[in-house]
Amino acid sequence: MDLVKLTEEIIKSIVKNPDKVAVKQFDTEEDNFILIQVIVSEEDMGAVIGREGRMANAIRTIVQASGYINGNKKVKINVDSF
């Protein structure tokens, strides 16, 4: 599964406004990293980050594990609101 689609499915399943979720992939200057930018509504930031960042860390772990299994690069995920 594509890492962006995986990230989008996970994020949409935990937010109240799944239609306001945007996920995009950016290549970085570092050859071994992929940057995935997640934008959600401001009211959903708490659900995506979770208490003490546990939800965000869990999402990163799942996406990175999928990347390793499929032989992809390391993944960095940034979460922001609009």
> Mean pLDDT, to the nearest integer, of 9-35?
91
What per-residue confidence (pLDDT) applies to 41? 95
The residue behind tokens 């995009």 is: 24
pLDDT of residue 1: 66
Quick: pLDDT tens for 40-69.
999 999 999 999 999 999 999 999 999 888
Domains of the chain, earliest start first:
3-81 (3.30.300.20)
**Helix or strand or coil: residue 25?**
strand
Judged against a pLDDT cut of 70, whether residue 23 lies above it is answered with yes
Q: Which amino acid is at 63?
A: V
Strand-pair partners of 7: none
B/e letters for 39-58, b = 16+ CB within 10 Å, e = fewer, are: ebbeebeeebbeeeeebbee
Neighbours of 67 (CB within 10 A): 17
Q: How confident is the model at residue 21 (pLDDT cuts 50, 70, 90)?
A: very high
